[in-house]
Amino acid sequence: MTPANGSILEARDLCLRFGAVEALRSVSLAVQAGSIHALIGPNGAGKSSLLNCLSGFYRPWSGAVLFQDEDISTARPPMRSTLGIGRTFQGIQTYPSMTARDNILTGFHSRMSGGVFAALFRTPALIRQEEAFTARAEEIIAFLELEQDRHRVVGDMSYGLRKRVDLGRALATDPKILIMDEPMAGMSPEEKGDLARFILDIRDHFGIPVVLVEHDMDVVMDISDRVTVLEFGEVIAEGPPERIADDERVITAYLGAAEVAV
């Protein structure tokens, strides 16, 4: 429809309602290739709703979602995951009874093969495939520094580690873009620092752009290339972090008068 303008994932005029609540009112967003794009706004602003529309978990009432200039508005979540839209979740959504490595291996599901027969009789083809994908899972484990915990059951892990496993599982889907909903909520400053480093590495080493929702303004200012501010389901500002930090509307709407005074 439009010429490629360097944006990899785009939302156009998304509207979404839950009963009387208008979660999104004509929201547009364009994520540039190779960038970290932060989404900020007060509670209930519609940030998660927007991410869920991007990953296909919510179906917007109107508007379109474009991925690499193709309209994917009708694609369901597993399809979008296969296309290359990876995501991590708000809160803890890992598989608690499985080990860290098995959690990550599930991310390879759509790129592995083999059904009931191979699984029951452990065919040579399956063994070869398991070895190849275990090696790839180990690369992710090394990147996320999870070596000590690869065989630990995720349900027994700390919050920060579980979020890291969640990220590893998302990376295993071989994403072309990564969507993260409040990855740092509830983390200690050390854990936040680690995760910020991983997110920067994901952009720089893997070349994967990241869209994330984050409440910690220090983190947002430090790592993001672009910031979009939502309030009551509407975009009230958008631009590089320096400009957002000085924007009058953002300061009054989101940062709050108290923080301006400090």
Q: Which long-range contacts (C-beta less than 8 Å, at least 24 apart) are formed by 13-16?
A: 13/62, 13/63, 13/64, 14/50, 14/53, 14/60, 14/62, 14/63, 14/64, 14/65, 15/60, 15/61, 15/62, 15/63, 16/46, 16/49, 16/53, 16/58, 16/60, 16/61, 16/233
Measure the CA–CA gap between 151 and 154, rounded to whole angstroms: 9
Q: Does 73 bind other proteins (CB under 8 A)?
A: no
**What sign results for the dihedral spanned by CA atoms 46, 52, 53, 54?**
positive
Q: Does 135 bind other proteins (CB under 8 A)?
A: yes
Of 172 and 227, the one with the shorter C-beta distance to ligand ATP is 227
Which residue among 43, 116, 131, 258 contacts ligand ATP (CB under 6 A)? 43
Whole-angstrom CA distances from 47 to 22, 142, 252 are 12, 31, 18
Q: Does 96 bind other proteins (CB under 8 A)?
A: yes
Of 18 and 121, the one with the shorter C-beta distance to ligand ATP is 18
| Residue 4 interacts with, from ligand ATP, other proteins, Mg ion, none (CB under 5-8 Å by kind) | none
One symbol per residue from 143 to 182: x for binding Mg ion (CB under 5 A), - otherwise; what is it?
----------------------------------------
Summarize as ranges the residues that interact with other proteins (CB under 8 A). 55-57, 77-78, 81-82, 87, 89, 93-98, 102, 105-110, 112-116, 118-122, 126-127, 129-131, 134-135, 169-170, 173
Summarize as ranges the residues that interact with ligand ATP (CB under 6 A). 18, 21, 23, 41, 43-49
